[in-house]
Amino acid sequence: MALNTALSGINAAQSDLNVIANNIANANTTGFKGSRAEFADIYAVTGLNLNSTAVGSGTRLEDVAQQFTQGDIQTTGNSLDLAISGNGFFAINNGSGVTYTRAGDFQQNQNGFITTPDGSRLQIYPPNGAGGFDTSTLTDFSWVTAQSNATATSQVTMTSNLPASATVPANAFSTSDSTSYNAATPVTVYDSQGGSHQATIYYVKTGTNTWNANLYVDGQNAGTQAMTFNTSGGLATPSNGALTFNPITLGNGSQPMTLSLNVTNTTQYGTAYSPGTISQNGFEAGTLTSLDINGSGVITANYSNNQSTQIGQVAIANFANMQGLRQLGNANWAASTDSGPAVMGTASVGQYGTIQSGALESSNTADTTAQLVNMIQAQRDYQANAQVLSTDNTLATALFNAVGH
């Protein structure tokens, strides 16, 4: 009896040591969650439980419970390294279905997909075309948006001051005669193919509080528009502040360019000419330079032409019973009947934690101090049960010797 009881204790202590050894071995495994050996006693009773003097029969391993406590978050600086602070798992697809992980050490494969080191593809919600994301659909995260399309300039916005003291030029306007205009402002504009062109607005005073704005693009005349100012120096006409010029054919295969000049904030004061601020709404084609992922998991692609676009949102899963998840290795888990189905959502909302880009979650057994203490306790349990075996063997030997004599 005592031999079997002590043997069950030794087996239990060995199981405990095995669990602790696995925890320590994975102290540097990204996203690893340690386990804890849980035991139950063995107690044999009669059918009617009438034996009040029955002694227990030892112990057995009841469960190896996963511990989903938060691991430390370590900064890496790699934008594809992701860590979840709080509840949730990344959803990944290994080709056979969706599984879940806390290990965010993602990388780009040769086909542009963002994957785990073992090749499972990170799942995201795609854009829905209305400025948000389709949270009903999971798709592979692919970094293949290599170009940002060019956009032709359609509007130039200028804030400038034309001097009220300026005189009307004596000579007829000509771009080659600097005495025939009072001021000129150059600005770079873009055609439908993203090619850059030099546009220049020439201001010519025509009378008291009246001016002409002449627009030329690469030397081509796009027309003349009149401007008038009130006695306070504010723009009177055009009343909407928009000067629309004739289309310009650039001869490079792009669409004709039609420019509108927004001069709403143009003034005529007694100070000298000041071009102020200039902006335009066109840009050249751009190549993908970087990705940003914010705390909500929204992925923004940044391009060399200073444009950006949101290309998806990282999907986050949670479970009613995380302890019921089935371990797959590689810090991956699968849903089971015990865990319940994945409840999909987005980071920073409700029960879901936040995402930190450029960081990784360490193993929650990285601090091995607690594991070493547990190991010492398991070792003592093993030694104590081994001592029971030794003692029982000594007693049995003494008994056999006494009976033999």
Tokens representing 138 are 């999971």
Taking residue 231's Cβ as centre, other Cβ atoms within 10 Å add up to 10
pLDDT classification of 47: cutoffs 50, 70, 90 = low
Percentage of the chain exceeding pLDDT 90? 67
Least confident of 64-73, 112-121, 334-343, 372-381: 372-381
pLDDT classification of 131: cutoffs 50, 70, 90 = confident
Structure letter (DSSP) for residue 233: S
Q: Which CATH number fits domain 155-280: 1.50.10.10, 3.30.420.40, 2.60.98.20, 2.30.30.830?
A: 2.60.98.20
Distance between CA atoms of residues 269 and 286, nearest Å: 40
Distance between CA atoms of residues 98 and 270, nearest Å: 70
Tokens representing 137 are 């659909």
Task: Report the C-alpha dihedral over residues 4, 8, 9, 13, rounded to 10 degrees.
Answer: 150
Distance between CA atoms of residues 293 and 81, nearest Å: 10
For the whole model, what pTM was predicted? 0.75
pLDDT classification of 50: cutoffs 50, 70, 90 = low
Least confident of 42-51, 178-187, 214-223, 256-265: 42-51
What pairing do the DSSP bridges indicate for beta strands 155-158 and 260-262? parallel
What are the DSSP calls for 164-175, one per residue?
Answer: TTPPPPSSPP-T
Q: List, in order, residues 6 or more apart from 203 with CB less than 8 Å away.
A: 162, 181, 182, 183, 184, 185, 211, 212, 213, 214, 273
Helix axes 2-25, 368-404, angle to 10 degrees: 160
Sheet with 183-190: list strands edge to edge. 183-190, 196-207, 210-217, 220-229, 235-237
What pairing do the DSSP bridges indicate for beta strands 220-229 and 235-237? antiparallel
Please write the tens of the pLDDT for every residue from 365-388.
998 888 889 888 888 887 887 787
User: What stretch(es) of the chain map to CATH 2.60.98.20?
Assistant: 155-280
- In this prediction, residue 145 carries a pLDDT of 62
- Is the per-residue pLDDT at 266 higher than 70? yes
User: 190, 150 in Cβ contact below 8 A?
Assistant: yes
Cis peptide before 238 (omega within 30 of 0): yes
